Amino acid sequence: MNELTIRRPDDWHLHLRDGAMLKGVLPFSAAHFARAIIMPNLVPPVVTVADAQSYRARILDSLPDGVDFEPLMTLYLTEATSPDDVAAGHESGLIKAVKLYPAGATTNSDSGVKSIDRVMPVLERMAAMGLPLCVHGEVTDASVDIFDREAVFIERVLAPLRERVPDLKIVMEHVTTKDGVDYVASAERNLAATITTHHLIINRNAILAGGIRPHYYCLPVAKRETHRQALRAAATSGDRRFFLGTDSAPHVDPSKECGCGCAGIFTAINTLSCLAHVFEEERALDRLEAFTSLNGPAYYGLPVNSATVTLKRLPEPIRLPGKIDTGAGPVTVFDPMFALHWQVC
């Protein structure tokens, strides 16, 4: 197969940042994706409906002329979040999900949740309204090995939470382990997972073998090969519980190439080309559309996009920038370490 037309994809987990960085990266997502779930971990975070309203306006202002793109706004859950504010945001149609960051788990998560007990009133209200909770599924306990933090989160936090609020619709964001995939696949209702492009392509060797490579460092950190294989099987299975969330998370190069580099990989530019390559390798190109364009809207209860995109497999490798210049500084693009042949037309 050398040509594939699919419904226009959506990105169910995207970091657009703000200001000059937002202006620099947004055109790349908007070129390929119709909608995206916009992560709220700005500094300061997007915690109230008013914050989300003004962030949405800044995103729309930063769009190139004539480009259609719908930012699906989220709220950053804190222990002070008001259930009434969340409910009003949902009822107005602005807020499509609430994001739970365990405090300290990742970039800009200091105002996250320390105790689930303190956010129960919000979670119960969300369950009653059918508003999804997006979860960064890693414990922050310093005594837990970083490669085990997702598996331990499932056992200590996610499973008890699902028992406590069974009607709460949850998305396990950027699942990175076989444990996570198996847990989601075993759930009968109210649980789905996003999978990133890069976790389908790299394992932890990319970060550490032969030298330390900060542009492959993200959170949750890439795991060993068996986990990558499990993620590939889930993504290409067609199972409606798994869909694309790129977690494209730009940081300027000086913030990554230093003594304590930030977590985050920028994939907005080449995600679809990378995914077509992965699905072709797995002989599952006929299931790419389910992963990028159908399963996500079905879980979020939104219509699928009516527009389409066509991917063409060119005989020669396609050319994409290895780095982009944003007004905030240079940002390195994810290098999949293989030549890309699939071009988005």
Closest distance to ligand NCD from the beta carbon of 11 (Å): 13
Segment contacting Zn ion by CB under 5 A, of 56-64, 162-170, 243-251, 255-263: 243-251
Least spacing, CB of residue 314 vs ligand NCD, in Å: 30
Q: Between 36 and 324, whose beta carbon lies closer to Zn ion? A: 36
Name the residue nearer to ligand NCD (CB basis): 198 or 341: 198
Q: Least distance in Å: CB of 317 to ligand NCD? A: 27
Is the Cβ of residue 14 or residue 311 nearer to ligand NCD in the bound state?
A: 14
Q: What backbone torsions phi and psi does residue 23 show, to the nearest 5 degrees? A: -60, -35
Strand pairing report for 170-172 and 308-313: unpaired
Comparison of 165 and 218: residue with beta carbon closer to ligand NCD: 218
| Residue 7 interacts with, from Zn ion, ligand NCD, none (CB under 5-8 Å by kind) | none
DSSP string, 161-216: HHHH-TT--EEETT--SHHHHHHHHT--SSEEEEE-SGGGT--THHHHTTS--GGG
Min separation Cβ 263 and Zn ion, Å: 9
Q: Using CB under 6 A as the criterion, which residues of the chain lie in contact with ligand NCD when the complex forms? A: 15, 41, 106-107, 136, 218-219, 247, 249, 263-264
Min separation Cβ 281 and ligand NCD, Å: 24
Among 10, 70, 247, 289, binds Zn ion (CB under 5 A): 247
Q: Is 36 or 294 the residue whose CB approaches ligand NCD more closely?
A: 36
Q: Which stretch binds Zn ion (CB under 5 A): 86-94, 125-133, 247-255, 318-326?
A: 247-255
Residue 16 to residue 182: CA distance in whole angstroms? 30
Least spacing, CB of residue 176 vs ligand NCD, in Å: 10
Best CA proximity match to 134, nearest among 107, 160, 176, 96: 96
Smallest separation (angstroms) from ligand NCD to the CB of 41: 5
* Residue 239 binding result from ligand NCD, Zn ion, none, given CB thresholds of 5 to 8 Å by partner type: none
Catalytic residue among 247, 253, 286, 325: 247
3-7 and 10-14 strand pairing: unpaired
Among 341, 193, 206, 345, CA closest to 276: 341
Nearest to 194 by CA among 221, 218, 170, 226: 170
Is 247 marked active-site? yes
Q: Which is nearer to Zn ion, 136 or 241 (CB)?
A: 136
Out of Zn ion, ligand NCD, none, what residue 138 binds, judged by CB under 5 to 8 A for its kind, is: none
Burial class (CB in 10 A: 0-12, 13-18, 19+), 147: middle
Q: Could you tell me what percentage of the chain is helix, strand and coil, using 3-state DSSP and rounding each to the nearest 5?
A: 40, 20, 45
Residue 297 interacts with, from ligand NCD, Zn ion, none (CB under 5-8 Å by kind): none
What is the 3 state secondary structure string of 270-310?
Answer: CHHHHHHHHHHHCCCHHHHHHHHHHHHHHHHCCCCCCCEEE
For Zn ion (CB under 5 A), the number of binding residues is 1
Interaction partner, residue 106 (ligand NCD, Zn ion, none; CB < 5-8 Å by kind): ligand NCD
Using CB distances below 5 to 8 A depending on partner kind, what does residue 263 bind out of Zn ion, ligand NCD, none? ligand NCD
| Alpha-carbon gap, residue 94 to 71, rounded angstroms | 9
- Which one, 191 or 219, has the nearer CB to ligand NCD? 219
For Zn ion, the binding residues in 7-46 under the rule CB under 5 A are none
Q: Which residues of 86-141 form beta strands (DSSP E)?
A: 95-100, 133-135
264 binds, among Zn ion, ligand NCD, none (CB under 5 to 8 A by kind): ligand NCD
106-110 CB contacts, 8 Å cutoff, 24+ apart: 106/41, 106/136, 106/138, 106/219, 106/263, 107/41, 107/219, 107/249, 107/251, 107/262, 107/263, 107/264, 108/41, 108/42, 108/43, 108/45, 109/41, 109/136
Q: Which residues bind Zn ion (CB under 5 A)?
A: 247
Tell me the catalytic residues.
247
